[in-house]
A = this chain, B = another copy of it.
C-alpha cells in the first residue's frame, strides 16, 4: 500500500493561482481502482492533461525514450505546437507512481484538535464531554483559522484532494473554512452545522438563526466559486438528535428546491438510536425521520449506518443516498462494525470518512486499512468470508467510492479521459515513506 502521500492537484492549484495552465503530459506509472476489487496498474503510461485540467488522452506502455511532445501532438484532441506542451516525467524511479486523490466523505474540521482524545466514552458522552465544548469556541475566528489551516494542510498532505466537511453552527468561521479550502487548493463541500435542540446553551441556534446562517453560508460559498469547481455548500443537519423535524423539513425543502448536497449521521450507536426513537415516536425508524423530512436522495451522504434494519437499508438504497463508512471512529468510540459488503451488495454507494475526531487519523489511507481490519472483525463474528474487504476494495472506497457518493465521479476518483487530473504522487522510497522496498521487488531493477 502507498505510504508517503504528497498531494498535487494540478488543475486546482494552477487555476487558483490564476496562471495559465499549459497542456501537460504526465509520464510514468499510474495505479487506480476503476472497478470495485480491481487494482489497475498502468506502467509507462502517458496521460495528457489539457488547459482546463481535464484528462485528454491516456496511452499505455509508451517505450522509454519516446519523444513525449511528439506523442502528445499525435494524441491530443486539440491542435498543439511542440512548444505548448509541458512534460512531467517520473518514469525514472520505479518506486514512484500516481494514484487518484483520496476522497474523505465525512470529517468534522473543528474537532481536529481533539484527534486521539476520546477516552473510554461512547457517542453521546463523547459529544458532551469533548466535542460540543470545542466546537462552541469557533466564535473565535483567529482560533478557527489556526485549526482550519492545519486540517486542510494535514488532509492534503495525506492525499485527500476532496473533503466533505462539517464545520460548526457559526457563519463566519464556516465561511473562513470555505475560503481556506479555495486558497490552499482542496476540493471541498462546506457544511454549516444545523442544531436547534438538545445542545449546550452556548452552542445552539433557534430555527430562525439556523435558516439565516445556512443561507448566508450558501451565498458566500456560491459567491466565491459560482460554478462549484472547487467548493460547494452542503446542507448539514447534525443528526436527528440535534434538529427538530420542523428544521429538518425546512432543510429538506431547501435541498429539493436547490438540488443541494446534504449530509448527516445515521444509526451510529445503539443508545443514540434508542434516544432518537424516544424523541421521534411518530416515525417508523431512524431512517424514516430523514426520509419523511425530505433529506434523502442521491446527493445525500449518511455517515456510519452501522445498525440499519433491512427495511432502513432498502430506504437508503431506493433513495440513492450514499454512505460514509468511518471504521476508525466506529471502533474508537465503540459504535459498532458497519456491514459494508451488505450495503454494497444492496446497491448502495459506500465511501470512507476519517470522521475526525471520532476517528483519530486524518489519513484516508489509514482509514482504508481500518476498513479492511473491521471487515475481518465482522467475519470473526459471522463466519461469512464474503464480508472481507480486500486492499483494492478499500482503495476503491477511498477514491471512486467517495466520488460516487458525492456524485462527482464524472470529475475525480480514477484516471479516465474526460475526468479531471486529480492525483497524488506517491514515492515509496522517499525519506518519510513507511514502506521498505527490496531489490527483488523492483520490477525494473533488471534493466538498470
Contacts and interface: CB of A to CB of B under 8 A. Distances in A.
Most buried by B among A113, A331, A332, A370: A331
Contact of A332 (B116, B154, B361, B376): B376
A343 to B, nearest CB: 18
A66 interface: no
Interface stretch (A284-292, A297-305, A377-385): A377-385
A113 B436 contact: yes
Interface stretch (A160-168, A171-179, A345-353, A438-446): A438-446
Nearest to A4: B432
Given A120-B385, A388-B120, A150 B436 contact: yes
Interface in A130-150: 143, 146-147, 150
Contacts of A143: 440
A438 B150 contact: yes
A157 B376 CA distance: 29
Interface in A222-260: none
B332 A390 contact: no
Nearest to A373: B331
Interface in A366-410: 369-370, 372-374, 376-377, 379-381, 385, 388, 390-391
B113 A390 contact: no
Nearest to A388: B120
Interface residues of A, number: 43
A436 B112 contact: yes
A422 interface: no
Given A112-B436, A436-B112, A440-B143, A334 B388 contact: yes
A435 B150 CA distance: 10
A119 to B, nearest CB: 7
A334 B379 contact: yes
A337 interface: yes
A119 B380 contact: no
A396 to B, nearest CB: 15
Contacts of A369: 360
A438 B331 contact: no
A331 B377 contact: yes
Interface in A413-433: 431-432
A97 to B, nearest CB: 16
B113 A377 contact: no
A441 B137 CA distance: 14
Nearest to A151: B436
The 7 closest A-B pairs by CB, nearest first: A331-B373, A334-B376, A432-B432, A150-B436, A113-B438, A377-B377, A120-B388
Given A115-B436, A143-B440, A147-B438, 12 more contacts: A112-B436, A113-B438, A116-B391, A120-B390, A146-B438, A150-B436, A150-B438, A337-B380, A361-B434, A363-B434, A373-B373, A377-B377
27 contacts: A1-B116, A112-B436, A113-B436, A113-B441, A116-B391, A116-B435, A120-B385, A120-B388, A120-B390, A143-B440, A150-B436, A150-B438, A331-B377, A332-B372, A332-B373, A332-B376, A334-B376, A334-B379, A334-B388, A336-B380, A337-B377, A337-B380, A361-B434, A370-B373, A373-B373, A374-B377, A431-B432
